[in-house]
Chains A and B, each alone.
Chain A
């Protein structure tokens, strides 16, 4: 009797373009953990009937994180550097029943795409933005990012970064969109819960995921061992409740404040537009 070997299916296989695996991410990279947490949250929401996975679509720019659009089994576009947010915006305008997720890196979202980030957050526009922050331009070999800690060397600041650092989460929080959170890949279970919370909401939702980049950022900071970098993040990524956004810290030496800093249900851009302009024959969910 010939025994047929049972193919073991990973629970997220239905949400991945498995034929495109293995992915491009280096050993020790945290992007996979961020993506995994996101896919689990989509799977759970889909299975619970909260969202329809057919409506979920991925928008990514350029960078290591942005490559995710090619690995996930959703409608997706791998677009231009920095422009994932406006492409997602247009798609949501074109079909308000879509659930757009922008999944990209810190260079893509905070640097070249900073203007789009600012205005999407200010408008409380109905998209979820997940920014995986590895504190460097990893795909292009380790150049300076606005999120690179001051003093840290990069290939374009060989004597150390002379700039002030950008705390993207604090910046977005100052614009008061409906949801702002920051967690780390060292908190994967929390991440999954937070994605699950943010995904079905209306308005602009921003989640920064502080991640590990051993190959590039680790090399510049003396963390060649993924485990060591992971432990460092675990030490400094402190989940806190805050009473003012002034308490949010982005300090590579001591504390990167994590937590859900804003979670509200103000009318979103599309809520407002549909209420005020009543585009004929169009509906935007149940208000």
Chain B
């Protein structure tokens, strides 16, 4: 264990190395490139390889190959690069290749403002690729969480054989803070779930019925794996029969839901008696938390629910945090994305009594607490 004063991007790089990163494939893109540069310097001496692909399509596909070869694999990118990875993320889900993508969100759409912050990749991170599938995304709000949740991203990726996205942002990625860097043993580091049967009995897509995840053999071990991007049976053989397709894809979607309890993460502040519940994540949650504290000093019963796992949402904790709330204010740096998820969760739990107020801010900078307050006042909501 050691303490360093590093940026969120560097903390993610350190987290990846603690988690056992073996292959990093990247393509330069602001504001993620410094993570790539940091690993280029450090990863070889920790027993890994850093490789620069010709584009983000090469990066994501190379990660799939690295995972099949048994390496913990990662890339870092930002909105435009993540868009290019769309098809490859679908491939990773379909062939069940565990990998981690650090998305350091910037202001979009399109190339937007490369050096400025955004939170516009909420829906993109979940629904980027075509067809039904499922994956996991976490949003850290500090350099420490960038470290901790990069480790957790790897753990979840190998446990479920899925891609996991860390939704960092330009503010988190570039803010230097005190970070406690832990080594394996000081923080939980999971390894791939390995086959327990001999090669002749092994099937690459035969799931463990408990968690729906098939144990994973690697290329080069004599299992003669067939990884298949097309619809396939348990052996990986292409099969167009609707029943086979349904069994496969339902499992791919269900396996995240089935293992949700071990994935979800969130933090609640001042929510025991909160009548006005703010919801914010990532860098915006820091300003929102400061605003909540200001409001508390004025005697206003405000609280904050901060989702860390965005996909899936920690909805039980949200319901708990909102138990006394009459109004829920969702603050985010986009046109209103996570508000849909929050509203959906509240309705799903029959909390029709709560009024959900969306506070999307199309800013390319993290707003100060006062700016958030001004935005609220400009809406004329009469919250207090």
Contact = CB atoms under 8 A, between A and B. Distances in A.
Question: Bound pair: A and B?
Answer: yes
Given A91-B68, A279-B48, A75 B223 contact: yes
Contacts of A279: 43-45, 47-49
A75 B220 contact: yes
A93 to B, nearest CB: 5
Contacts of A54: 220-222
Interface residues of A, number: 40
Contacts of A78: 226-230, 238
B47 A282 contact: yes
A86 interface: yes
A78 to B, nearest CB: 5
Given A55-B220, A75-B219, A95-B71, A86 B87 contact: no
Nearest to B46: A280
B91 A80 contact: yes
B80 interface: no
Contacts of B54: 115-116, 118-119
Given A80-B88, A119-B54, A93 B71 contact: yes
Interface string B49-67: 1110111011101111111
A80 B229 contact: yes
Contacts of B269: none
Contact of A79 (B45, B91, B223): B91
B65 A88 contact: yes
A280 B229 contact: no
A113 B66 CA distance: 19
B308 interface: no
A35 B58 CA distance: 26
A23 to B, nearest CB: 12
A115 B88 contact: no
A98 B68 CA distance: 11
Contact of B65 (A73, A94, A118): A94
A75 B225 CA distance: 5
Contacts of A118: 54
Contact of B87 (A80, A87, A97): A80
A88 B64 CA distance: 9
A93 B68 CA distance: 11
A40 interface: no
B23 interface: yes
Contact of A94 (B47, B66, B226, B227): B66
B5 interface: no
B219 A91 contact: yes
B227 A91 contact: no
B58 A119 contact: yes
A280 B44 contact: yes
B47 A89 contact: no
A79 B229 contact: yes
Interface residues of B, number: 49
Contact of A280 (B45, B57, B70): B45
B237 A94 contact: no
Contacts of B61: 79-80, 83, 86-87, 90
Contacts of A94: 22-23, 65-71, 73
A26 B46 CA distance: 50
B276 interface: no
A281 interface: yes
A20 interface: yes
Contacts of A92: 65, 69
Residue among B46, B64, B230 with the most chain A CB within 10 A? B64
Given A89-B51, A94-B65, A280-B46, A77 B220 contact: no
Contacts of A74: 224
A227 interface: no
A95 B219 contact: yes
Nearest to B62: A90
Contacts of A248: none
B25 interface: yes
A76 B66 contact: no
Contacts of A89: 51, 53, 58, 62, 65
Interface of A: 17, 20, 54-55, 57, 59, 69-70, 73-80, 83, 86-95, 97-98, 115-116, 118-119, 273, 277-282
12 contacts: A70-B228, A75-B223, A80-B229, A83-B57, A87-B61, A87-B62, A87-B68, A90-B62, A94-B65, A95-B218, A98-B219, A280-B45
4 tightest A-B contacts by CB?
A: A90-B65, A90-B62, A94-B69, A94-B71
Interface of B: 22-23, 25, 43-51, 53-55, 57-59, 61-71, 73, 87-88, 91, 95, 218-230, 237-238
